Structure formats: structure tokens, C-alpha cells
Amino acid sequence: MGDAERRGGTAGRSSRLTIAGRELAGLSAEKTILLAVAIQLFIAAFSSFLVVGLVSMYDPGALGGAEVEVAGAGDAVSDLERAASEVDGASVTRYEDAGAARLAFERNAADAVVVADRNHEGRIVARVTAPDATVETTVIVVQLRELLRTYELNERADRTAYLTESPLPLPERTGSSPYFTFTYTVLIPVLVFLPVFISGSLVVDSITEEIDEGTLELLRVAPVTLGEIIDGKALAAVAIAPGQALLWLLLLRANGTPVANVPSILALMTALTTLVVALAVAISALAPDRRAAQFLYSIGVLVLFGGATAMAGGPANAVARLAIDSADARTTALVVAYVAIAAVAYAGVRRLVAANGFGD
Amino acid sequence: MIDRLGRVLRVARWEVARAGGGVDRRTLLAALALLLVAGAVLGGGLAVGAVGLDVDRDVYRVAVDGDSPYADAVDEAPALTPVPVGSATLGETADLVVLDVGRGESGAVETVAVRASDTRKGEAAAAEFREAVEAHNERLMADEENATAAFPVAVTLRYVGRTSALDDGSTLGEASDGSGGDDGSDGDDGSGGDDGSDGRGGSGDGSGSDGTDGDDDAGGGTGDAALDGGASGDGSGSDGTDGDDDAGGGTGDAALDGGASGDGFAVPSVGGGTFGADTAGSPGSISPPFPFVSLLLAFVFLVPMNFLIQAYGSSVLDERTNRRGEPLLVTPLSPVDIVAGKTLPYVAAALLVTTVIAVAVGGGALSVIAVLPVALTFLAATFVGAMFARSFKELTFVTVGVSVLLTTYAFVPAVFTNVTPVALVSPLTLVVFDLQGEAVSVGEALFSTGPMALGAALLFGLGLGVYREEDMFTQKPVTRKLLDALAVRLSAVDDAGLADLADRRRLRALGSVAFLTACAIPFVFVVELLAVATLFALPVTVSVPVLLVTIAFVEEVAKSVGLYAGFERGVFARTDRVAVAVGLASAVGFFLAEKATAVVQAVGLTELYVGRAAFGSVAGVDGLSPVAAAALLFAPLLLHGFATTVAAVGASRDRTAYALTLALATLLHAAYNFGVVSVHG
């Protein structure tokens, strides 16, 4: 076998390419790859929608500079007013007593009530009343928390003498978009990994379909070895993955999100694609039919993807660090390790399947 | 009827037997082994601490001196990674440098200066660093002996509805002695008027009474705010909780007291914050009400659907490959029986899984009722996909597409459950309500589940049209299959003289055209909603024009694609007269169905600016003179009639002509929409 394979080296290469070409032609005829890209585009558009939506709930500024009007009462209310002057988007109006403040709240003159009293040992007890189940509750409570934290900081500063260790001063507040971290740590990894799973799924379908319709037997009559058939199919599936990822990264760049270390990211995702494709080949060889194969593949991918996000230094985190340009030597070592693992896994699976055949 | 049920059940039994054979024991064992391995790896990882869900681990590099007090803060923040100051260059190997830690005379840190690189990454790193220092301070304070100085502010947060005339509180627990346990007696109802008093009540006497407060909405107004006691007591401050007793008479409640008698302030653990329950603790422990947990739980309902449709799609496509479904088709069973029987086991499985999940996460019957239409739509869309797909590869993409679209359509509106009533377009919102224990009216439930159930029924109808011998076993591109499926629903329209215009058969044929177009309305709205959501992130100046053209295009396609199918499949005679007739019929069907769905206005969708742009032609007729209103009402009819006739004339020629006239119709429609939006603002 080894001898024959060496002699037919060139023929083997061209038959691999022929099979890969056949796979790609099938894909483009069915236009499935277009559908795949459309699905990914949709996911990308929607995840930004989701984030914009969530952020606008949490960031009152995004809702047009919402100002929360607090009715204040109690003997410590002047300090509360001082805190409010330091917080954007919250103002305190003083009322004579808690009853008056609550009345103002009832009449919609105030968004919330804070009754702040000093107790005998000097602690301030703030009783906060916020409206229940209205649209703005979240926004109001977020602002209230900001206000009360500032209040706490001020009060704590006055009591530093009683503390064994004083709190560290905070650096200046800077404006930063919450989308930034999300884009790099969630959106980019998701976009980079989607093509990986699509490729694996393609291999499962392609192999099980050939087994199912009996065309694999036909192929084997042709002068190609089983290993070459697997190579061809895997080659086609792996080849289409980096292109899709590159498309996303370029799109993000055009959209004003610079992505660093693109070659390393592509190398990492190609290695992962090879790994997933190896998994797909192994599953199609072991599973009795297509349904079982797709089922096992879904579970396998779920496990892999879940593990990938959960691991410290997993591929999702590695992609995030590469993309945001915070990679160090460890990240590079990680990429090399993934490439090695993928190569070993694929070679192992190919060898096993070439020796044992499919489907029995 | 009984007969038919028997037939359906027989097919269902057969399907179950076959599907059971499809996934054999070995496969299940293999899947189980995979999951076990994953569990073991994950468990092992957790044990050695190598596993964490920090996707943002070490994303920002902060240059900080090893002995700086800030080094600890940086170390403890997962997103920050420390780099030595000496070798760091801002912008290249570090995103933020902590400089100049100014110390006062006593040696305590008094000021700090940081410099961030001048990029968005630098800004993000600075914000992250500030949060890290805040978190570090909280931890530092938690270790302090003097809790009063460390946490000088104790907060009790409660949510009160503004509906009641006077929600007054009365305090409880005043002056009771530190025995702690006795409250509960308070909660006197009916006392009504005096609130206010409570606030101070508790304080003053250092007895640790903790009051709790009963919250009694129903009856007599005791309500009360209270909070209490803890505050006044010694040390314990924070734990008053309040019982919320809606029903009856004010027995007060709950009580809590625990810490009251104790001394020493423990940082309170705040429970129940997830659903926005009332909370108490230091300001940092306040969590804004957000249905996040319910939302995640609602998502759990969707996960099994993905596996279900994979099996279902395979089963349907299996019938179509190698003519395997032929024997079944030659039996006296009708296609409806076969499809119903094949689908039944999957619906049953969906119901079963949903019920199990509902029980597990604490949902009730409402959750199951809400998820059922979602499951049906998943199955219906997969059925259509499997009827159209040529190969398993194609089916895989169709299945993925269906999952993604439906999951987002169901999930995304539910995110806004507590924010806007639009959220109700997704049945998952009902699940979130159910998990939060909120009441849902029958109308809301119907509004939420009805359209999706209708959509599922229409999709099944579409797929059933091609569930017959001449279509099932042929391999055609998906688009041509779709035309086949649409053409099945039309009846022939021949070219005829004016005399036959009112012929009954002809009217019925035109009626079928109108009906087919009307059936497209739910899908048009879904697509338009998705378009609104997708374009939401763009600035209004960009999103509105794009949206207007998109919506015009979607509507024009919906009105004319059936006509194109009719001409292509030879159902309609290719003459201009027929084109005008079917074009007008289609426009009328669309117009009537659109008006029937004016409910969007009731739901408040038009409150959103982009929503108004999308549905402007439907809503927004109030506040106008009757003549203008009538004109506005019928202007869309004229528009639809004209645009669709244009497209129909093209459709009656060939594909190129159809594409051109469709573009023309879209432009006309978009121009009209733009006029409406600019008039209404």
C-alpha cells in the first residue's frame, strides 16, 4: 500500500483536488454557501441589535439623557444632595418629611424616594422606594445606585480615620463604549467560529449522503484510495472556512473596528476547522446513518464549543486577545499548539478510516 | 373523522418505530460518552481552577508597579493583565499605565494618575481599570472591622406601585426590644393614613428591633414601608426584608429579623435580586430589575427545538430520497394524513420536553401553551425546507437558517419584556412573564401566540401543496420548488372578453389570487419586523431610507411572486388583460389583509420611530379630517393596485421583465412610503 501510494503521488494529489473541486462545485450549484453567509450576516446584525438594546437599557444617556428626579427626606438629606451634584442624570429635591416625599412620588412629581436618616451610631440608613413594574424602573434604579454609591464614597471618605486600610482613590471617569469589549470578546469569536462548525457539518452530510445513495461505492471503483477521498472532502471543507472568517474581519474593519493579528486568527481558525472536520469524518465513519451522524456531530460540537468558551486560554479567548491586540508569547504558543493538535487529530482519523473503511 | 384520526395515528406509530430505529442504542451510548467526557473535563478543570467563563480574560494590559497598591486590583480583575512598568510602552505593550501614586503624610494613597493610550481600546481599558479599583475597594472594606465606617450607608430598596391612592406605610416594630423575633404582629391594616411616621419609628432606640414590613396591597392599605429596624438596632442593619402579602388582611409578615439581635455587621447577602425583588444592603449590592434569569430560562425552551427539527427534517427528506415515500403515497392515505401522522410524534416530543423544562424551571401551563406555537413553527418551517431541499447538505443549511431566524425572532423581543409592549410579538415573552409570576391577560396571550400558530399553519399548507408524487421526487432549485408550491394554490385564469368578466369561475380564480397574497401578510410582517430590528443599530438618517426601500421591496415581492408563479407554471394566460386582472386581485387581497392587521397600532409598535416608518401606511390615521382619513385609507389601495399591476405585466412576460418591473414597482412604493413618512413625521 505504502509503495503504491508513493508511486501514485502525483495522481493522488490530482485526484484529491478533483474530489475537492467536485465538492465545491456541488456547494456552489446549490448556492448553500450563499445561504451560509446570509445566516452569518444575520447573526452579526442581530447580535449588535441585541447589544444596542441591552446597553440602551443600562445606559440612561443612550435614552436621551434621562434625568432621574429623587424626592429626598430625612436628616441626612443634605449629604445626599451633595452626592447628587456629583452624579450626572440624578437630582434630589428636598421634602420636609418622608410623608411629603412619598406623596410627591405618588403624584409623579418624583421618580423615586430616598429617606436618609442617621442612626445613633452614625450609620446612614437610606430607605429607597422605586416605582414598580414600569418601563423606566431599570433606568431609575441604575441611576439611584450610581447616586448612592457616590454617597457611600463621600461618607466613607469622612470616616477614613476609623478604617485600618483606606480605600484606593479612583482614577478619573472616562467615557467608554460598552460595545467595545463586547465586539472583541463575543462578536468576533462567534463570527470566526461559525464557519468552523458549518464546515464540519458539510463533511458529515457529504460523506453520509454518499454512503446513503451508494455513490461512495462508485467512487471506490475509480482509481482513488479511500484516504484520498477523505482528503478531497476535507480539503474542500477546510478551504472555504478561512475565506468566510476573513470576510467578517474585513467587514468589521471597514466598519471602523480594527482587527489585529489577522493571519494568526486565520491560522487558529483553520486549525480548529481541521479539528472539527476530523471529528466529523470520524463520526460519519462510526455512525450507522445520517441522522445518527448529525445528532452525534451536534452533540460533539456543543461539547467542543462549550469547552472552548469555558477554558481559560481557550480558543474563544485566544481569538479575542489576538483581535484586540493584547496577544503575548503565550497566545502564539497556543496557536501553534492548536495547529499541532489539529494536524495530529486529522492524520490519526484519516489513518483509522482509511484502514477500516466507512459504515461498518 | 374518527377514521381519519385512526389513519393519522397509524402513520404516527409507524414514524415512531422508524425514528426509534434511526437513532440506535450505540449512537445514544456514544452521545452519552461524549457528554460524560465533556463533563469530566469540565469538572476537572473546575477543580484545578482552569475553567472560567471569562471571555474577556486578560484582554487589556495594564502597566503597574509590582508594589503599587493598585497591583492587587489589577491582579484580581480577570479582564486586566499586569505588565511590568519598566518594559512597557504605551500603545504597544500596554494599554494603560498607572503612574504617580501620590501618598499623603501618613503614607496612605491619596491620588492616582493613569495614562491610557489614545484609542478606543485605551478608553475601554481605563473604564475597566476604574471598575477593578471599585471592586477592590469593596473587598477591602468587607474585611474592615469597623463596619459602620466601611459601609456607612445601608440601603433598603423596595418597589411600590403608584396605583393605590395612598400607599402609606406604617412602621412596625418600633421600640420593641431587641428580642428580634417578634414582629409580624404589625402590619395592621386599615390604618391607612399615616405614613410617614414610619420612617422614623424604628430609629432612636437602640433596640434592635427589626421590623419587617408587611406589604399588603389588597386590603386596607397598610402597606408600609417600613424598613427598618435593623437600622436602628445595633449593628445589624441590613436585613429587613419585607414580606409581601397581597391577599388579605394584613397580618403583617414575615419578619425577618435575623440579624437584629446580633451584633457586628455582616455584609448583607442580598437574595432574590434577580427578578427585581426588594433588596437591602450597601449601595453596591443593588441590582436593577432585569428579567435576565427568566430570559435565560426561556432560552432553554428553544434549545431542544434545534435537535427536534434536525430529526424531523431528516425524516421528511428521507421520504424524498430514492423514492422511499412512494409506497405511502399509493396507499389510500391523503397527503394531509401522512404529514399529520409524521409530524405528530415530533409535536408530542416537543410538548413533553417543554413540559419537563417548565416543571424544572418553575414555569406553569402558560409556558407550555406559549412554547407550543414556537415548536409548531419550527417544525413547519423545517417541513417546507425539507420539501424544497435537494440534498441533505442543502437541508442542513435550511435547518440552521430556520433555527437562527426563529430563535432570534422568538428571543430578541423577549429581551425587552419589561420595556415595551412590542415584546409580546414573541411568545417567549409570555414565558418570561410566567416565570416572573406576572399575570397575562387572555388577549395578550392570544396576540402573542396567534400569529405564530397561523404562520405555522400557512407554512404546512405551503409544503403540503408539493407533497405529491410529481413534485416530491424531482430535484429542482429551491426557488423553482417554491413557485411550484405557490402555483398549486392558484386556479386557472384564461384570457376572456369583457363579457365573461363577471363569470363565477373567473371570480373564484381571482379570489384565490387575493387569498394567496393575503396569506403572505404574516410573513411580510415578520420580515419587516426583522428588518426594523436589524437596522435598529444604524443612525436614523441611514436606517429610515434603507428601511423604506426594503419594506417596499418585501411587499412588492409578496404581492407579485404568486402571480409570477402562476404565469411560469401556465396557470394564467400570458396576456396583459390577465396580468392587470390578477395584479388588481392580488393588490386587493393584500390591502384587505393589511387593514385587518391594524392591531399593530393597538400594540404601540408605532411608538417607535422606525416602527412608524415601517407601518406608517397602516397606522397613524387619527387626528385627521374624515376626508383626509378616507384618502389616506384608500391611497394605499391605489398604490398597491398600480404597483402590483406593473409587476404583474412584467411577470407575464419573462424573468428579466419581471425583475425590471419589480424594481420599478419597488421604487414607486418606496417613493409613496417616503411621502407618507415625511407628511406624518
Last residue of a domain, one of B463, B488, B513: B488
- Name which of B53, B108, B477 is nearest A309 (Cβ-Cβ): B53
Q: What is the pLDDT of residues B578-593, one digit of tens each?
A: 888 889 999 999 988 8
Are residues B527 and B471 part of one domain? no
A contacts of B70 (beta carbons < 8 Å)? 168
Are residues B480 and B612 part of one domain? no
Are residues A327 and A198 part of one domain? yes
Are residues B311 and B443 part of one domain? yes
Q: What is the pLDDT of residues B619-650, one digit of tens each?
A: 444 455 666 666 767 788 888 899 999 999 98
Are residues B511 and B459 part of one domain? no
Are residues A131 and A105 part of one domain? yes
Per-residue pLDDT, averaged over B531-548, amounts to: 74
Are residues A94 and A6 part of one domain? no
DSSP track, A81-142? HHHHHHSTTEEEEE-SSHHHHHHHHHTTS-SEEEEEEE-TTS-EEEEEEEESS-TTHHHHHH
Q: What is the pLDDT of residues A293-347, one digit of tens each?
A: 888 888 888 787 777 676 666 788 889 889 988 888 888 998 999 999 999 999 9
Are residues B345 and B304 part of one domain? yes
- Name which of B41, B145, B393 is nearest A206 (Cβ-Cβ): B393
- Evaluate if residue A135 carries a pLDDT over 60: no
A11: contact with B, CB 8 A cutoff: no
Cell numbers representing residue A167 in the block: 480605600
Q: Is residue A15 part of a domain?
A: yes
Between residues B568 and B251, the one the model is more confident about? B568
**Minimal CA separation from B271 to chain A, in Å:** 17
Confidence of residue A238 (pLDDT cuts 50, 70, 90): very high
Report the pLDDT value the prediction gives residue B240, as an integer from 0 to 100.
Answer: 34
Q: State the count of interchain CB pairs (< 8 A) between A and B.
A: 386
Least confident residue range of A302-311, B94-103, B468-477: A302-311
Q: Is residue A59 part of a domain?
A: no
Least confident residue range of A13-27, B236-250, B595-609, B645-659: B236-250
Tell me the residue range of the domain where A326 lies: 2-54+177-356
Three-state secondary-structure class, residue B93: coil
Q: Is residue A60 part of a domain?
A: no
- Name which of B42, B136, B232 is nearest A307 (Cβ-Cβ): B42
| DSSP-H helix ranges across A312-328 | 315-323
**Of chain B residues 249-268, which have a CB less than 8 A from chain A?**
none
Per-residue pLDDT, averaged over A71-93, amounts to: 85
CB-based contact A39 B57, cutoff 8 Å: no
Are residues B512 and B475 part of one domain? no
Highest mean pLDDT among A30-44, B236-250, B511-525, B608-622: B511-525
Please tell me the distance from the alpha carbon of residue B237 to that of residue B220, in angstroms, as a whole number: 29
Total domains present in chain B: 3
**Minimal CA separation from A352 to chain B, in Å:** 18
Are residues B679 and B559 part of one domain? yes
Are residues A344 and A318 part of one domain? yes
Q: Is residue B620 part of a domain?
A: yes
Q: Is residue B68 part of a domain?
A: yes
Q: Is residue A171 part of a domain?
A: no
Last residue of a domain, one of A130, A162, A194: A162
Q: Of B392, B402, B426, which to mutate for an interface test with A (greatest number of A Cβ within 10 Å)?
A: B392
Q: Is residue A259 part of a domain?
A: yes
Last residue of a domain, one of A115, A133, A162: A162
Say if residues B240 and B260 touch (Cβ distance below 8 Å): no
Please tell me the distance from the alpha carbon of residue A352 to that of residue A356, in angstroms, as a whole number: 6
- Evaluate if residue A35 carries a pLDDT over 80: no
Q: Is residue B5 part of a domain?
A: no
**Minimal CA separation from A232 to chain B, in Å:** 17
Are residues A37 and A124 part of one domain? no
Tell me the residue range of the domain where B318 lies: 292-488
Are residues A303 and A244 part of one domain? yes
**Minimal CA separation from B2 to chain A, in Å:** 33
Are residues B387 and B309 part of one domain? yes
Confidence of residue B353 (pLDDT cuts 50, 70, 90): very high
Are residues B504 and B425 part of one domain? no
DSSP track, B185-239? S----S-TT--SHHHHHTSSS-------EEE--SSS--------GGGTSSS-TT-
**Minimal CA separation from B201 to chain A, in Å:** 11
- Evaluate if residue A266 carries a pLDDT over 90: yes
Q: Of B15, B27, B170, B407, which to mutate for an interface test with A (greatest number of A Cβ within 10 Å)?
A: B27
Are residues A196 and A336 part of one domain? yes
Are residues B446 and B322 part of one domain? yes
Least confident residue range of B42-51, B211-220, B541-550: B211-220
Q: Of B68, B120, B155, B418, which to mutate for an interface test with A (greatest number of A Cβ within 10 Å)?
A: B155
Are residues A345 and A300 part of one domain? yes
Report the pLDDT value the prediction gives residue B22, as an integer from 0 to 100.
Answer: 52
Least confident residue range of A39-48, B79-88, B605-614: B605-614
Report the pLDDT value the prediction gives residue A48, as an integer from 0 to 100.
Answer: 66
CATH code, domain carrying A96: 3.40.190.10
A contacts of B41 (beta carbons < 8 Å)? 307
Are residues B593 and B528 part of one domain? yes
Radius of gyration of chain B (CA): 33
Are residues A330 and A284 part of one domain? yes
B24: contact with A, CB 8 A cutoff: yes
Between residues B559 and B214, the one the model is more confident about? B559
**Of chain A residues 208-227, which have a CB less than 8 A from chain B?**
208-209, 212-213
Q: Is residue B286 part of a domain?
A: no
- Name which of B55, B310, B393 is nearest A316 (Cβ-Cβ): B55
Are residues A126 and A182 part of one domain? no
Angle formed by the axes of helices B392-415 and B292-320, to 10°?
160
Per-residue pLDDT, averaged over A93-107, amounts to: 88
Last residue of a domain, one of B488, B523, B555: B488
Last residue of a domain, one of B488, B508, B531: B488
Total domains present in chain A: 2
A233: contact with B, CB 8 A cutoff: no
Confidence of residue B35 (pLDDT cuts 50, 70, 90): confident
Q: Is residue A168 part of a domain?
A: no
Q: Is residue A10 part of a domain?
A: yes
Are residues B673 and B532 part of one domain? yes
Q: Which residues contact A299 (CB under 8 A, 6 or more apart)?
A: B31, B34, B35
Three-state secondary-structure class, residue B110: strand
